[in-house]
């Protein structure tokens, strides 16, 4: 289960923070580390600050975009120091986030995403997430170092995993009842936008409408069968629009 929990670091500036984060997650039993466009990597400073977690640094995958890093994940939580304008579901407490991620990780990959040291995740990157989480801290000084934030949330994940009843056996859900991956949801949103454009509902790109609809489906959390039904509805509307224009 813990092997299905992915830690993603986006455009890390200081290579030492990669090593310190690797050390933080290894102490909590996590092993899947993905780096999105790190400024310097590999780098001796990353290995030095890993302090026993060099194996995680060496096995870390480097990818070109956050979309690539989380494409196969069914739930993606963005760690953010402040709420953005995008109304995604937000976990008020890290332990609630951890329980839900661990639950989904029993069957599918999930991800916890951390942004840049200086300004975190962009709004476009937050849109690739299904949820947000913040770490409650001193309102007068709530700034955590990247590896500190990783340690706090990794601990919550480990605690949630450890507290699952050992005898709590729940059979895996049938494939159609499981949550869709971020890639599958991305295809759905692209399809929805095409139909909205073709129907005249949108006459030009409208980022706010797209963002609001993405947030709506993030809150609804349709399973794979429900998403397939929605795709079928969109395909039927496309065929009808095509016949009308023909």
Domain ranges of the chain: 2-162, 178-245
- pLDDT digits over 24-83, tens only? 999 999 999 999 999 999 999 999 999 999 999 999 999 999 999 999 999 999 998 655
Q: Of how many residues is the chain composed?
A: 246
Would 2-162 and 178-245 be classified into the same CATH topology?
A: no
* CATH architecture, domain defined by 2-162: 3-Layer(aba) Sandwich (3.40)
**CB 93: neighbour CB atoms within 10 A?**
13
- The structure tokens listed for 100 are 């839900």
Structure pTM?
Answer: 0.84
Helix (H, G, I), strand (E, B) or coil at 41: coil
Supply the DSSP string of 147-191, one letter for each residue.
HHHHHHHHHHHHHHHHTS-TT---PPPPGGGSPPPHHHHHHHHHH
- The chain-wide mean pLDDT, for the chain, equals 90
As a whole number, mean pLDDT of residues 117-126 equals: 90
State what percent of residues in the chain have pLDDT above 90. Answer: 64
pLDDT at residue 169 greater than cutoff 60: no
Cis bond leading into 130, ω under 30°? no
- pLDDT digits over 176-187, tens only? 888 899 899 999
Greater confidence, 215 or 117?
Answer: 117
Of 1-5, 115-119, 143-147, 198-202, minimum mean pLDDT range? 198-202
* CATH architecture, domain defined by 178-245: Orthogonal Bundle (1.10)
Under a CB-based contact definition with an 8 Å cutoff, are residues 83 and 132 in contact?
A: yes
pLDDT in the model for residue 197: 86
């Amino acid at each position: 289960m813990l092997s299905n929990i992915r830690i993603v670091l986006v455009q890390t500036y200081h290579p030492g923070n990669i090593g310190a984060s690797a050390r933080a997650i290894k102490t909590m039993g996590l092993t899947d580390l993905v780096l999105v466009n790190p400024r310097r990597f590999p780098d001796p400073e990353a290995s030095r600050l890993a302090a026993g977690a060099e194996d995680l640094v060496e096995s870390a995958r480097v990818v070109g975009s956050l979309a690539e890093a989380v494409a196969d994940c069914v739930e993606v939580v963005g760690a953010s120091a402040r709420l953005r304008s995008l109304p995604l579901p937000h976990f008020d407490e890290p332990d609630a986030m951890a329980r839900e991620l661990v639950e989904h990780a029993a069957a599918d990959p999930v991800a916890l995403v951390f942004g840049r040291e200086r300004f975190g995740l962009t709004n476009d990157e937050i849109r690739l997430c299904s949820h947000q989480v913040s770490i409650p801290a001193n309102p007068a000084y709530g700034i955590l170092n990247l590896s500190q934030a990783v340690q706090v949330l990794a601990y919550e994940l480990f605690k949630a995993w450890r507290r699952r009843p050992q005898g709590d056996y729940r059979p895996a859900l049938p494939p159609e009842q499981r949550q869709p991956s971020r890639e599958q949801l991305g295809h759905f949103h692209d399809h929805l936008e095409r139909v909205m454009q073709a129907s005249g509902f949108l006459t030009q790109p409208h980022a706010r409408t797209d963002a609001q609809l993405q947030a709506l489906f993030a809150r609804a959390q349709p399973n794979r069968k429900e998403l397939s039904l929605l795709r079928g509805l969109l395909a039927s509307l496309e065929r009808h629009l095509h016949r009308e224009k023909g």
